[in-house]
Structure formats: structure tokens, C-alpha cells
Structure 1
Amino acid sequence: MINLNARQQNILKRLRQNEDIQIDIMADYFQVTTQTIRRDVNQLCKAGYARRVHGGVGLPVQLTNSSYQLRSDLQFDVKDKIAKKVANSIPDGATIMMGIGTTVTRIAYYLKTKNRVITNNLQVVKILESNPEIEVYIAGGLFRAQQQDVVGNSVLTFFNSFEADIGILGCAAITSSHTAMEHETAEAELSQSILKNSRQTWLVADASKWTSSASVKIASLSKFDQIYTNQTDLPEDFPLISIK
């Protein structure tokens, strides 16, 4: 995998909004030469993050969520700030359900207190294996390599056997009517199970979620007890924890 520079991350963000972009338009936007943009595009295409189209670049053809590494690279700094804020808000001894998503995964790096973690997120498990103070319960089910998680009815049954103090989940997109969305039914059902089996539910969502699209509903933002985001211009009655 390549390490994306700031311009390459911005190119991918614009592709998610526009699907296809011409090389000369991007060169004007970034105030660089077309040769510089072509080098960025060639690297993105080689890594599988994009594909060449006539005169420009587009997102790779896919039906499901983008790969774990790509999602992890996008908006990294913001996700890291959100993760630190969330981890610092978790009390010692709490039982936490942690769902899928790269922002949720980053939270695991900053957990310092004695907690019990219940998850289907394999990257969370990998990170926490070196922390002897945290008890980790992992769901069994269908392993998805690209998403680095486990899904299926067995995971729903697993979550239903616990009651967490805090449930933490991300989402693929948020609509203009303030509904958290996922790409696939299996993903949305897992998030809904965390909502159902947690006394408090926290949503982590960077501002790019408001410019993304997905087709399966999780829940209205009003269903969450706390929303950690750097998004602005949201209704004042939402329980927002602003990240700057």
C-alpha cells in the first residue's frame, strides 16, 4: 500500500463527490502541472484506489465499501482527533461495544483504562492484544478481509448476549435529513444491534460523511447520546461533541 500525501487524499475526496474528474481540471484546482497530477493518479491507480478514464480519473468499479486501507488513509488527522476525544471520555471499568469502521478502530489505540471490549472489528482486537488491562470478546462469523471485520447472524446473536455501558459505532454516510447510513444491510444490522444493546450510544463521524452516499439506514442522529464530529452547521439540539 502507498502512503497517500495530502493532495492524493484530496483527489480521492473529490472523486467520492464527483465520481470522474478530468486531469486538467484537477491541475487547475490544485495549482500544479498536469504532469504532477498524472503522477498522483498513476500511484492511486496502481494501488487500486482509482482507475483511469478518458482524459481523467475515476473511482474503481465496486459494489461494496472501499478497502480498509483506503478508508483508513482518508481524513486520518481528523479521525485521530475524534478517536482521542472519545477514548478520553470513556470511564474506567466500562463495558464497550465497538463496531466497524476506521475511526472506531483508532479509538483502540488510545484506550488506557481497564475496560471490557465487545467487538466484531478485527483491527480493534489486533490493537488491544498487547493491552493486558482490557478484556476483549470477539464475535465469530463471516470474515471480510477488505473490511477487517466479521458479519452475519451469529454476530447479531453475540451482541444480543451482552449489555454494554457504551456502544461506539461509525457509519458510511449521513443524509441531509440527519440519518446515519451504511453500504450493506449486514453492516446496518450490526450497528442497530449495538444501539439496542448499549445503555449509551456514541456515533463517530468526520465531516466527509455528509458528502458521502450509502443506501441502508442505521438510525436517525437523534437516537445517539453523543455525536463526535468536526462537521459544522448541525442543529443545536443534537448532542454534539465538536472536534477542531
Structure 2
Amino acid sequence: MRYTDAPARREELLRRLSAEGYVSSSRVAEELGVSEMTIRRDLRQLEGEGLARRVIGGASLPNLGHGRPFDERAVTGSGEKHAIAEACLDLLDGAVTVALDAGTSVAPLTGMLQPGTTIVSHSAPVIQAAIERADVELVAVGGVYQSETRSFAGATARRTIADYSVDIAVLSATAVDTTGILCANALDAELKQELARAARTTILLVDHSKLGARAPIRVGGLDLVDVILTDPGADPDDLQALRDAGATVVVAGEHVAPGSLTSRATSATTDAPGVGVS
């Protein structure tokens, strides 16, 4: 198959970069049926967008395993992130145990959760905020500390999360489009996957700038989560594209009946909610 359409070709280059971490210009040109000069132009554009890093003979993922620092991301769209977190509370109604991801959209939820909630998290800001509350239970997930995301990752963190069963996991992402959920940190992607596996219901919080955007690491398809929650600044075309792809998308401010989420696990289990060790 010849990839003569530039957007489709660059999408394929990103897919290969995410899967392998590196692409060879000559090899991929031959496999896609285009010239090596065309591939080099594509890689130059992807590099300009921050999605690839050109090296001798091809390209690799940019700053592999790392994204923008947490503090820098926290101040970007902070108003939208707080609005999304507040809207998320209605979806958490009745949840006893909530797992919180390391994203800046998720962290504000820590101070908003109902007293008596058990919080499971590998995020240092979430852990610190939970410690300061005397009315919640905390399962602090440790591991290898990552300063860029201010979170713990690695095998220890994955094993700890895998030992728990939680009612709802709240995730964040660098980008989401019709192909799925994307992030900029390979180790962080592994933890997001574990959190989704541990949860009966999974919510993705993303501000409108993340819709239709791109990032180098694939976390999973849209079916990894039960609902995507975003802010009113979202482009209607982006919302419709995600809905057409099968996603349930909620905009902050829309009425959602508390506790009305349909879980991926509803048909698989009828256990009472709560935290458990598997």
C-alpha cells in the first residue's frame, strides 16, 4: 500500500515511533512506497510539532519517556482543569475507593472528594494533599520517582496498583483523538493502563486543548475509559468525532445524573463497591 496522503503517512510514522521508539528513513520509505526525501520531510514536520526527534538515518521519540514538567503543565489551562475536576464530582457519587492519576487535571480532585473516600494514587501532589486531610484514607503507591510528572512509576508501582480493586479511576492524558488516548511519558502510560485495569469504571479528564492533539505514546483505545470529561471550550467537531468513534463524552456544565456512569465491568461483576486486595 502506497501512503501518498501526507496526514495518513505521518499518522503511520507516529504509530511506528510509539511502538518501536525509532524509525529508519530508508526502510520506512520502502515499506510505505514513497521516496526517502518524502519521509525526511514528514519527519522534519513531526519534529517541528514536537512529536519526533530527527537522528542520523531516521527519527526517534522526542525526549523519550519524558514530557513537560508538572509545574509547567499545572498552570496551563488551570481554570478549565478546576472546572473539569468540579464537574467530575457528580460522576464519583457513591464511589468508596477512587484511584487518581498523576495528571494536573486530576490533582485538584484530591481536596474535593467526599470524607471517607479511600484514595489510591502514585502522584506525589495527590499523596501530599491527601495526607493533609484527616477525613480520607490513603493508599500511597511508591516506586521510582519521576520529577517531570511528580509521580512514582516502575515495576513496584505497577504491582501495587495491580493488587487493588477500585470503584473509579480518574485518568488524564496529553492528547485524545479518534485513535485513542495518548501521553508523552512511557512509564506514565504503563501506570494509566494499570489504573484502568484495577477500576470498575474509568473517567478521563482532559481540557479542550487535548482533543484532537497528538502525543508519541499510546496509552490505549477509546474503550480504555467509560467517559471522557472536558470543558465547554471544546470544539464541537472534536466532540462529535469522538462520539462518532464510540466514546461517551461529557462537557462540564452539562447535567449528568450522579452515579449514572455505565461501567465497562457492570456486566462482569456485581460485587459491592470498595477497596480490595486481589
SS at match of 2:105: helix
Structure with more relative contact order (C-alpha pairs < 8 Å, separation 6 or more): 2
Aligned twin of 1:73:
75
AA aligned to 2:164 is F
**How much does 1:198 deviate?**
0.5
Tell me the equivalent position of 1:9: none
Query: Structure 1 residues 242 and 166, CA, compared in 2 at 3 Å: closer, same or farther?
Result: same
Assess if the C-alpha contact under 8 Å between 1:93 and 1:114 holds in 2.
no
Question: Do structure 1's residue 123 and structure 2's residue 125 form an aligned pair?
Answer: yes
What residue is the counterpart of 1:241 in the other structure? 250
State the AA in 2 paired with 1:111.
L
In structure 2, the partner of 1:213 is 214
2:201 aligns to what? Answer: 200
TM-score (norm 1): 0.70
Unmatched tracts of structure 2, length 5 or more: 1-47, 51-61, 254-278
**Residue-by-residue CA offset, 1:4-24 (whole Å, 9 max, x unaligned):** xxxxxxxxxxxxxx769xxxx
SS in 2 for 1:103: coil
**Offset, 1:62:** 5.3
Pairs within 5 Å for 1:54-203: 64-92=66-94, 94-175=96-177, 177-203=178-204
- Give 1:67's aligned amino acid: P
Aligned positions of 1:11-50 closer than 5 A: none
How large is the RMSD of aligned CA atoms in angstroms? 2.2
- 1:203-235 deviation per Cα after TM superposition (whole angstroms, max 9, x unaligned): 111111135431111112233212111233322
Identity %: 19
TM-score between both structures, scaled by the size of structure 2: 0.62
Which residue matches 2:228?
227
- The one-letter code of the counterpart of 1:238 is A
Q: Note if contact 1:92-1:114 (Cα within 8 Å) is conserved in structure 2.
A: no
The superposition leaves residues 37-86 of structure 1 with CA deviations (integer Å, 9 ceiling, x where unpaired) of xxxxxxxxxxxxxxxxxxxxxxxx95521111110000111100000111
Distance 2:224 2:176 in 1: 13
Question: In structure 1, what residue type is equivalent to 2:112?
Answer: Y
Consecutive aligned runs of 4 or more in structure 1 exceeding 4 Å deviation: none
In 1, Cα distance between equivalents of 2:112 and 2:167: 18
Amino acid at match of 1:122: A
Q: Matched residues in 1 for 2:95 and 2:176: separation?
A: 31
How much has 1:97 moved relative to structure 2? 1.1
Structure 2 vs 1, CA of residues 196 and 93 (structure 1 numbering), >3 Å: closer, same or farther?
A: closer
Name stretches of at least 5 consecutive residues in structure 1 with no aligned partner. Answer: 1-17, 21-60
Shift of residue 238, structure 1, vs aligned partner: 2.4
Query: 1:92 offset after TM fit, Å?
Result: 4.4
SS at match of 1:192: helix
Q: What is aligned with 1:39? A: none
Distance in 1, matches of 2:187 and 2:124, equals 16
Per-residue CA distance 1:170-222 (angstroms, 9 max, x = gap): 011123x3410111221111111111110001111111113543111111223
1:187, 1:152 → 2: CA distance?
9
Aligned to 1:29: none
- Give the greater-gyration-radius structure (CA): 2
Contact kept, 8 Å, 2:95 with 2:167, in 1: the verdict is no
How far apart in 2 are the matches of 1:185 and 1:227? Answer: 21
In structure 1, the residue corresponding to 2:195 is in which secondary structure? helix
